[in-house]
Amino acid sequence: MATSQNGQPTAFSDIPNEIVLRIFGCATFVPGALEADVSDPFEASQPLKFDMGHQIKSLQMALDTKYSLVRVCKRWRTLAMPILYEAVSIHGLDGLYSVYQDLRNPNLQQAPDLGWWVRRMDLTLHDLVGEFEEIEDSVLSMIAYVFSRLPNLQILVVSIDTSAVEDMDVDDDSPPNRPIVDLVCGTIGAHCMPSLRMLSWESEPRPDSGIITALLGKQLYLQTVMIGGGDGADICPATLPQLPYLDFITLIHGDNEGHGISGTASFPALRQVHIRWIDEDFDCIRQFLAFQAPRLTTSYISLNETTGDSLYPVLEMNCPNLSHLILIGLVWRDFLHDEPKLPFPSRVTHLGISCKQLRASDQEYINLFTWIIARMHRSIRIIRFMDASVSEDLRHRHSGILAHALLPFAGSNIRVEDNEGNNF
């Protein structure tokens, strides 16, 4: 008979373990949270995967539910512990210390097994302060221990707040005072098991290119690499290590100084790239697209950080299999600042539009549709608005503008869709 935490019988003793586990799974399921790949955005109704905010909030709610489940009774605690630890969320130094204690506490019977269950780790450090010696002796040692105890970790999501770096006294001529992001990245790279399938890194500045490349080089099974944040080192394709299973990667590149144009690694499985920021020198990108990523089918371009018009010819010439193009902006004017009227790549059949601006004016939507039509090739068959908020805004607040904007597509084979793929 099942007993509660205080030893009293409960009403759950007759429920088979299989049913209990299914209940746990349904109550705590977060779509895509344990998936390392990036699904075709035109086949999935979920938000674009590299926008991790919605997923992190859902994971935190699921974690609260899991904590409630393990407190019901001893039997449920035993059954739910693997589910509780399959996705671990660390927020700040207190959270890091708590997980560190769980993994090393010899008084916990489950301690040797807790790290075995962890498949996803969300590490958010927004309160790093102090001198280098303090950081090295406490935070970095805990990070090293935690990652050395996670043999089955597949998904790692890291976020380091800008203020954590700005508060430190950084001297480029003194290696002991490297930015904290470099120290954290180097520590993870040195102690993380070679089991990662997905890495998402968001920090400002980004880690030194050599340090993050070393981390990538140990993780030969990586399928997805997402790099965010503000200023910092480039992630140059010419310096990437061999990653035979890589399917998705973020490209951030400024210039070719300090390395050759030609890369030696190949990426036979690579289908998707997110071009976040590229300077005017495209030699590395051309080389990468033409010779190192022969199967590329999908390109995401962040228009708030780079210009689409400068990239369309590069994609046209070097990506013969490119069929999906997703354009991303923070506000709608990001889509309209290009002067030349260069068309989208001629092989693109699916065009995605993603914008974080919650509401727009009638004129902004009119300008957007005019901008799209001016660049369209006859090859395009699908135009999809990728965000639920934009789809709702068009359907309910701007239905008249939407109806007028759809007139040029009447009688054609082009579908204009909402975020779930429904025809407007």
pLDDT for 250-292, tens place per residue? 887 755 554 545 566 788 899 999 988 766 666 777 888 887 7
Among residues 179, 206, 233, which one ends one of the domains? 233
Q: Same structural domain for residues 221 and 368?
A: no
Among residues 233, 252, 273, which one ends one of the domains? 233
161-165: long-range contacts, CB 8 A cutoff, minimum separation 24:
161/125, 161/126, 161/127, 161/128, 162/204, 162/230, 163/126, 164/125, 164/126, 164/127, 164/128, 164/129, 165/203, 165/204, 165/205
Which contiguous run of DSSP H or E holds residue 66? Answer: helix 53-70
CA distance 408 to 373: 9
Name the band, by pLDDT with cuts 50, 70 and 90, for residue 234. Answer: low
Q: Is residue 16 part of a domain?
A: no
Predicted model pTM: 0.83
Q: Is residue 239 part of a domain?
A: no
Q: Residue 299's pLDDT is what? A: 93
Distance, CA of 332 to chain centre:
22
Name the band, by pLDDT with cuts 50, 70 and 90, for residue 49. Answer: low
Q: Residue 175's pLDDT is what? A: 42
Q: Is residue 274 part of a domain?
A: no
Residue scoring higher pLDDT (262 or 312): 312
pLDDT per residue over 156-167, tens digit each? 999 887 554 455
> Which structural domain, as residue segments, surrounds residue 353?
297-424
Residue 79 belongs to domain with CATH number: 3.80.10
Q: Is residue 281 part of a domain?
A: no
Q: Is residue 227 part of a domain?
A: yes
User: Best-predicted range by mean pLDDT among 184-188, 228-232, 278-282?
Assistant: 184-188
Q: Same structural domain for residues 182 and 307?
A: no
Q: Same structural domain for residues 55 and 156?
A: yes
Among residues 185, 205, 233, which one ends one of the domains? 233
Q: Residue 174's pLDDT is what? A: 41
Q: Residue 11's pLDDT is what? A: 56
Q: Provide the domain count of the chain.
A: 2
pLDDT at 236 over 50: yes
pLDDT at 211 over 50: yes
Average model confidence (pLDDT) across the chain: 79
Q: Is residue 241 part of a domain?
A: no
Q: Is residue 312 part of a domain?
A: yes
